[in-house]
């Protein structure tokens, strides 16, 4: 089950909630029965030219994996507009589709909006008869529907719980061969000082990086066990910051050690500006930061070339 602010969800429960909401909001809403196929949409608002597609994972993926699954789901179902154009026209008649709405409990990365714009352009360029000139792909998360869902829970007599962990997390570190190679190769570059390679430095950097990568996660595990809400805030901040790490390291022109120091300073600064996170001791925040730097070296968001 996928953990959210309204409790655990799977694909069927999420779609069921969204179907009820759209039926309540729009008199002309029609749901698509998935037999013989859903044609890439869960339903459509006939008078508005709105079609919807729901997606909820059945487990709590790490941010990178969730983003990839959301991106691939959009790609797959937008593709059905092309392959099912004739069948869709039979259902929506003369209505032109102006909005294709992707509805998911939590958006993993803001890069999904870039992907939406790309697919949007592809659809417009194809000049499909069923697509309006102002066609848009919209990404909507739980926040767009939370009031409706809470009202449904109250009407159905469900117990309301506001302390759920919503699934934002950092995956358990695993030092496989690829990650070990990444650490070795990047630390070798870090060990070139004044154009001279220092093998002793290289060996020591490898040991420190692996230790921070594997053992540094322990403090995050303790935070999760004792305060899931605080862990979630840390994970959300770190996952968002990861995009900055990747982008900045790709264009970095100074020496690699200054990049590592820049990332450490920036992440600690962001921690210090979050009221709840900043309540954690500075030593623990430094440990978390060093773990994340080791993770980014091993798993590749941080480019060192």
CB-based contacts of 122, cutoff 8 Å, min separation 6: 78
Stretch (H or E) spanning 258: helix 256-272
Instruction: Kindly list the structural domains of the chain, giving each domain's residue range(s) and its CATH number in brackets, ordered by start.
Output: 2-155 (3.40.1350), 177-299 (no CATH)
- pLDDT (tens, 9 = 90+) of the chain, 305 residues, equals 888 888 888 999 999 999 999 999 999 999 998 766 678 899 999 999 999 999 999 888 888 999 999 999 999 999 999 999 999 999 999 999 999 999 999 999 999 999 999 999 999 999 999 999 999 999 999 999 999 998 888 788 876 666 566 667 888 898 889 999 999 999 999 999 989 999 999 999 999 999 999 988 999 999 988 888 889 889 999 999 999 999 999 999 999 999 999 999 999 999 999 988 998 999 999 999 999 999 999 998 899 98
What is the C-alpha separation between 7 and 19, in angstroms, rounded? 18
Hey, CA dihedral for 278, 284, 287, 288, is it positive or negative? negative
Question: What single-letter DSSP state applies at residue 161?
Answer: -
Radius of gyration of the chain (CA): 23
pTM of structure: 0.61
What is the C-alpha separation between 40 and 244, in angstroms, rounded? 34
What is the C-alpha separation between 19 and 42, in angstroms, rounded? 8
In this structure, what token pair is assigned to residue 255? 């020496």
In this structure, what token pair is assigned to residue 163? 């302390």
């Amino acid at each position: 089950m996928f953990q959210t602010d309204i409790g655990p969800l799977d694909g069927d429960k999420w779609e069921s909630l969204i179907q009820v909401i759209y039926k309540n909001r729009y008199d002309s809403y029609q749901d698509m029965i998935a037999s013989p196929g859903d044609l890439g949409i869960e339903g459509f608002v006939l008078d508005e030219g709105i079609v919807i597609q729901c997606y909820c994972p059945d487990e709590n993926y790490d941010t990178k994996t969730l983003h990839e699954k959301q991106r691939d789901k959009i790609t797959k179902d937008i593709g059905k507009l092309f392959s099912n154009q004739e069948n869709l026209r039979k259902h929506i008649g003369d209505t032109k589709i102006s909005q294709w709405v992707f509805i998911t409990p939590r958006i993993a990365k803001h890069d999904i909006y870039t992907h939406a714009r790309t697919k949007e352009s592809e659809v417009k360029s194809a000049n499909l008869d069923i697509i309006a000139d102002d066609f848009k792909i919209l990404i909507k998360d739980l926040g767009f529907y939370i009031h409706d869902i809470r009202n449904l829970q109250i009407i159905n007599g469900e117990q309301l719980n506001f302390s759920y962990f919503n699934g934002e997390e950092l995956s358990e570190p695993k030092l496989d061969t690829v990650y070990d190679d990444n650490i070795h190769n990047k630390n070798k570059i870090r060990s070139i000082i004044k154009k001279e390679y220092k093998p002793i430095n290289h060996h020591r950097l490898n040991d420190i990086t692996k230790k921070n990568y594997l053992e540094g996660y322990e403090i995050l595990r303790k935070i999760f066990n004792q305060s899931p809400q605080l862990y979630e805030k840390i994970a959300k901040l770190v996952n968002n910051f990861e995009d900055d790490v990747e982008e900045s390291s790709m264009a970095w022109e100074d020496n690699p050690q200054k990049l590592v120091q820049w990332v450490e300073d920036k992440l600690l600064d962001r921690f210090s500006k979050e009221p709840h996170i900043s309540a954690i001791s500075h030593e623990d925040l430094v440990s978390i930061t060093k773990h994340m730097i080791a993770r980014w070296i091993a798993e590749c968001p941080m480019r060192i070339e």
